[in-house]
Amino acid sequence: MEPLAVHPGRCSGPRARVFAVLLSMALCTAMLFLLQLKFLKPRVSSFYTFEVKDAKGRPVSLEKFKGKEVTLVANVASDCQLTDRNYLALQELHREFGPFHFSVLAFPCNQFGEAEPRPSKEVASFVRSNYGVTFPVFHKIKILGPEAEPAFRFLVDSSKKEPRWNFWKYLVNPEGQVVRSWRPEEPIEAIRPEIADLIRQMIIKKREDL
């Protein structure tokens, strides 16, 4: 009786299939990684990278503030119990430290108590006539949810402080990083020294760079 012939191909078949599956998985993983590198957005490190809209809906690049000014960014509203006190305080800071080294940047929002029902252009007109506001008032935005304004979302993510009401404030240095944040009820006296210190640092740096 002749011995049974040995067929290497039959014995190695399952191993080959396992190897092919593993190889396919490795290639798919590598392709997904490369696609992520190509399409994944780089981490934004500066508030001044963003573009927003002014009260008339025109695009405004925040790049113009980079390296030149300290900014205090606030979500504002016209029909809130905190409106009078906060708008007057913001204008006082803007007048005291501006216009060359500091600016308040106001973003109307209607998500807190529906306290900003006006269209953006009416908001700008209202605060000018009632509070003498001279700082920029931008287009009305959303702060919460999937439609949140990316520029304001950057402030929230950087500070880990999400607004719970109108007139939260974020202090941003000339490089575009968030330095401090304040709740709406905190007094102007708590904010003023921080602004003055950042402006002093900015002026010293500019002199050293000359």
Q: What is the pLDDT of residues 72-102, one digit of tens each?
A: 999 999 999 999 999 999 999 999 998 889 9
pLDDT at residue 131 tops 60: yes
pLDDT at residue 26 tops 80: no
Query: Is 28 among the catalytic positions?
Result: no
- The packing angle between helices 188-209 and 83-97, to 10°, is 20
Predicted TM-score (pTM) of the model is 0.79
Catalytic member of 11, 28, 80, 109: 80
Beta bridge partners of 172: 71, 178
- The packing angle between helices 83-97 and 120-131, to 10°, is 80
